[in-house]
Each structure stands twice: as C-alpha cells, then as structure tokens.
Structure 1
Amino acid sequence: MSVCRPVRCLFASASLPKPPSAPKRSFHASAPRAARKRRAHYPSIKAEDLNLLNQAADTQYPKYDTSETTLLEKRYTPAQIAAIKAAETAIDTRDLVTQSQRRSDPWLLPYEDDLAEVDPVTDHAEKLDIKDIPGNKSFREVNDVERDEAITLLANENLAKLFPDGIPEGEVSEDTVRQLEDAMGTALTQAVLDPRATMRIEDDRVAATLADPRYSMVLPDLPRIENRMVRQTRRLSSEEEEDPRQKRLLQYLDWDKTKLRSIRCKTLVVHGVTNQTRMGKIRSLYYLTIAGNQDGLLGVGEGKSVEPEEGRKQSIMSAIRNMRPVPRYENRTTFGDLEHKVGATKVQLFSRPPGFGLRVQHLIFELARAAGLQDLSARTPRSRNKMNVIKATWEALCNQKLPDEIARARGKKLVDVRKVYYGGSVH
C-alpha cells in the first residue's frame, strides 16, 4: 500500500464527489416545513398604526365635554357621576376598538347604555301623589263649549305626535287610510280621557303637571294606549277563522302569522299507544315534534290523541311554546364538548372547527339544523331510544356552561384576544 495516497487525501482542497442520492417522493400536498414562511403569532403594531387606533377610538368613543357633564349632573347624583368618570378612566378606548364587538343576538336590549330612559316595556313611570304638585290646586269644571275646544286641541296634539311630517294628503293606499283612521280614533279617545279636557286650572304649572304620566292613571302618550292586547285583538278580528289553539298561542307569544310560519317544525317520533280501561283497549297516537327558528331557539313538544291530526297539532304547539335559547359559539357550534344522560341514553356532543359540518345521526341532525348549528359531531354510546336521544340532546344544548359564567364563578375576567392573535380575522 502506498503512503502517498493518505497524504494526498489529507492535503487535498477539494472533497470527493458524493454519490447522487435518490429523490424523495413527497406524499403531502402542502409545501415542506423548510419552504414555509414563518408568520408572527400576533401582528406588531407600528407607531403610525397606533396613532390611527387613537383617532378611531376618539371618534367612536369621545370623551365628555363640559356641556355634557353639566347635563349628566342634572340627571345623575354626584356618586353616580364619580362612578361614570372612574369607569371612563379605567376602560381603554383602544381596547374597545380592537377587541370588543357589538351584540347582535335576539336577546339584545332595545337601548344600549342609557338605562335611565323610561322604556314602555321594561320600565314603568313612578306614580306621584297630589302632594307632589306645586302651586295652587284649585280647579273648576268646564262647560260644553270649553270641553269641545280642549278635546279638539288635545286631539290635534296627539295626531302631531303620530304624524310629525304632517297628515298624508292626496292619493294614499288603503293601509295608510286604515292607519289614519285608527290614529284619529286613538287620538280622540285619548283626548276625551285626558283630565285637561274636563277641568280648568288657573295656575299654568299645575295644569302642565296633568300631562305628566307620573300623575295620570291613563298615561297620555299614545304608544301606552296602544298596548299588546289591543293590537292582538285588532289583528285577530280582521283575520279569517283559525284554530283556537293557534289563536291562544299567538296571544301568548305576541306574534303574528308571518313569524309563526318562519318556525321550522318537524315530527320525529310517531307510534301508537294503547290504554287499557274497563271498556276495553283505547288506542291513540303519540307524536314528538321539534321546533326552531334556525337562529338560536329550539323546542321539543309531545302530543297524544285518538285523532291523528289533533295529536300532531298538539305536539307542534307544545314545541313552539317550549322553545328555549341555545347558546352558540360564533353562531355555528357549541361551547365545548357536552354530555347529558336521560334514562339509559347518554348523548355526547363535540364542538368542531368551521367547515366540519353536521356529522351526527339523523335525530340530532334535525335538532342541530333547527337550532342553527353548523359544525357538530355526536356519539350515543349507550341506549339509542329515540325519545330519550331527542330529550337528552335538547337539554344538553340548552344547559351549556358559558365561558362568561365559568369566569364569573372563578372570580376571573374573560377577555377575547382572538382579534389580537389572529389579526382581526374572527368569524
């Protein structure tokens, strides 16, 4: 063996050529990890972008100026003013722009923050006594001429509230004519019931208090006369003859027929039952129906009758009456995994990512579609009785533990940081 070869290999600058390796076949459609571009977990905010956030926060949530503070002091107590200022100081308006979002669920209150405003649905004006009226309270009864003039004046004022742009003139539709006739009748009735039409008071301040709803048994505002039962009676009197059960349901829910038709109803279980009596066996049919508006409401109802159509109607009305809200995460799936047991039946529901679909059995599929769920999977490891599966699924969906409730029970504060981590792409 020659000694030159190891020396030549030691002092050689170029390495020996490597044998060509066999190409590796990729079985994945995506690019290899080395070719991917690393993305930051959250977007870094630059100084100019931060200035834009400050401008947007100042535009959407402006600070109180001196005139607004003066108006607030007339309505709220000093302690409430101090609490409002402390809350405004503690909350960062930039966080409201980047992380918060306005509610759009069906259970949203009709007003946002001004809870001091009297609402005819949730708030009731506090009644005041005659001792709270300042000034001279002596009055006299009016004669017929003064009474007619007062009724005419009050009726015109009430019509001006309903038609601020003036009474429509020229060729109008039948609905407008009917609405105008109803408004005139309501305004005239309100004017007759107004105490200012039957008595005359010399003191103007005392006369002005008669128009205050806190002193009157019949509140003078027209929307308070137009209550729910009056609207329901007028609507049902103009409609055709219908099922008495459906009429009671409309009065109970304060709905019309159009909203009732939008409810999705489906009968899932039908079987015959027999009742043994001293007169023999009496056979009847049992129906189990689900109802939902496909936007967060779901109900289950049962019905049983000798007549098939009667039992089915009974189950439908019961399902609509029993509708309860179903919490939905991002309006598509449940808040985490759920498990519920009814009898010997156990139902396990699992939340899934967007686009997963409803991969469940047919009974749970109909319940999820009626409630407005889009991504869900389920298992029924034990008994698969149809009635128990439906009831267990319904109770599991309606009795979910929300993250807000869990955080409140633990004494924590729940903050939604998805808009920060995912750059605002939250569906």
Structure 2
Amino acid sequence: MSVCRPARCLFSKASSLPKSAPSAPHPRRPFHTTTSRSGRRRRPHYPSIKAEDLALLNQAAEVQYPKYDTSETALLAKKYTPAQIAAIKAAESALDPRDIITQGQTRTDPWKLPYEDDMSEVDPVTDHAEKLTAADIPGPKTFREANEVESDEAITLIASENMAKLYPNGVPDDMTDKEKQHLEDAMHAALTQASLDPRASYTSKNPKAMEALADPRHSTILPDLPRLENRMAKQTRRLSTEEQEDPRQKRLLQQMSWDKDKLKFLRIKTLVSHGVTNQTRMGKINSMYFLTIAGNENGLLGVGEGKSTEPEEGRKQSVMAAIRNMRPIPRYEGRTIYGDLEKKVGATKVQLFSRPPGFGLRVQHLIFELARAAGLHDLSARTPRSRNKMNVIKATWEALCNQRLPDEIARGRGKKLVDVRKVYYGGSVH
C-alpha cells in the first residue's frame, strides 16, 4: 500500500492554519507526479466530428440514400397497402442516413465473415435450394435411353462445358510442363464427370426436360449442407444401430420395464471415488471404488456402489446399482421433508430439518447433491460427529427413505391428521 496519500492528508491538516489567522493556509502538495483527477482533461466517450466532415457526410448521405420522389411513391402504392407505406416512412424517418454511413462500415476484425452477401441470391454452398417437381418442367416429360452416338455427343458437350468453366479465355498456347499436366488432369476429370452425368445416359426431345436431369433441385435426394468427409470423421462417426448395447443396462431396463428415454432424464453423479487394496495370499490387488447417486428430481433417489480393477467398469457398476436401488422419497408439498430427521451410520450422525418455502438448500455439498436429485428444495442439515463421505451419503439416504408420515402417526395415536400436524411441526405449520 502506498504511503503518499495518508502522508499528504496528514501534512496538509497539520500545515493548515485556523480561520482566525491572517495568512492563507499552505497549499496541499502531493508526493507523486500524477496529475490530480480534477486537473485531468476529460476525454469524450465518442469521437467528435468536425463541421467540414459533417458537410461531407450530409452530401454522401443524400447521394447514397436519396428520399422518395412522387413516382417511386406511386410505385410503392401499387405493391404495398397504405398502412405498410406509413410504416416504411416511419422507419426511414427514424433512421439517420449519416448514422448508416458512419456506423455501417465494412468489418476489419479477425472474426469477420469470409464473404459479403446481401441475401438477394441463393448460395449453393450455404443455402438449401428449393426442391422442384415434375409440374415445374414445361412441355413433355418423356425420356428414353440414348444410343452410343447420342451418348458420345452428350459426353463431348458436357466435358466442353466443364472445361470452359476452368479456362474461360481458352487454353493458352505456351504452357509449362506443370500446366500441361494440370490440363490433362482437368480433361480426365471432366470426361469422368460427363460420363456419370444422367444426360449422357438418357435423352429427350424437350430441352427443358434434359436440363432437369442435371438440376439438383429436381432430385428426390437433394443433399443438405456439405458435410466434412475425411478419414478421421468417418472413423469417429458411428450410427445408432452400431452402438454396443451394455448387457447390464439391457437387463436393468427389462427388470424395471423402462426404455432408454427414461434413463436420459435421470440425474446421475458419482460423489465418492478412491482406490482400495485387497490383501490376498497372491499379493495385493488394487481396485477402484465408486459411490454414485441417481434420482429423477421428482421423488426418486438411489445410492449404488461399485468396485473393479478397471475404473470405467467400477463406475458402470455403481451407476446400475444406484438406478436399481432407487426408492420413493416422501416430500411435504413437493419441496421439503416431513419434520426433523436423524440417522446414525457408524460414527456419523446426520440431522435433517424441514424449512419454509424459499429457504433453499443450506447443507453441505454431499447432502446438497442428494436433495437435488430427490427433488427437495427447502432443507437444512447438520453433521455434528464424524463426516465420513460414504457414511454421510448412506445416512442421509436412509433418513429420507424412512420418514414417518403424519397419517401414520395419526393412525398409531388414534387421532385425526389435523391434530397431529400441529404437534408434529411444533406449532409451526408451513
């Protein structure tokens, strides 16, 4: 921390004279060279525009964005309704042409788009072409297979069109060896593409029908946006039918009469994972231990354990066990527990307390995950003794599953439910 500011305040107070003194107090002098905030020149948030530049902007705005004349307004009246014309005029009056010129500049940042598009035309790469049907072809729509002579003529014509796209000004006379090789490769590719064109296999007397053969808009399998096709993408891409189905998961779904879609809505989280060692006569066997919870956030909660020498195998075992062990959790008003709970597992004791609406989950992180997976929203807890993670999770789960409901207490005491609520909640009914 700098001592300049405290020292300046202290010396200025000590050197100042009382108001009754005839002489003025000594000026306060800071101990650093930075200009004081009051003495600094304030910088404007926006750059100021000079008068001559403003005149040029007005001229450019009038040239690029002229106002509508009477003839253009009459043309607009033929296409738009009076309400639409009024909306157009209101929008143009709200926009200042000078702002469009000053702010609508071409982007120069590294994240700009690699192309300029006014959205007036269809881009064959980024836009999906509109599909056409046979009704869009004028004239007869009959085809027949082309003979050898017609096929050769069509291949020659199509190959010439493809070569004309590569060399619009004609093939140059003086060419290097590399350019000649490139020309031969282009001719071979053009002939191959022409031989595969449907116009080389079929012919028709209607030229529009012939054009429809090569138009992708008439194809029933019109391709979508271009996909990335390379070796790595093909190796990593797997169809849904090729997914390896886990036999444990299949057996679990059969036991619970569920489908795979229900598993997607479960909240599954591994809370404890550590290594364990089993001493045998063959030596020490190291393995991984996992403790996982599973819940649907709507009154179901389960805890499962798994252990294996392979970490992924042990985690799968714990997940399947947690789903299989899911039990219903009673919830008061769908948000908290019924009264206060206490459970002891080993040296760990967990105390859970019901709370009013909006209280939230003010518990430690392990109990927080259990409460969120079970669908509890208002809860507080204490762990006054040992805080072993596994015992805390098991004690909390058993306490939530073994709650005493008010109707059970009422039946045991032979009283009405409305009388038990006040006693059960200590006179505070939320």
Q: TM-score scaled to structure 2, two decimals?
A: 0.41
Greater relative CO, 1 or 2 (CA 8 Å, sep 6+) = 1
Whichever of the two has the greater Rg, that structure is: 2
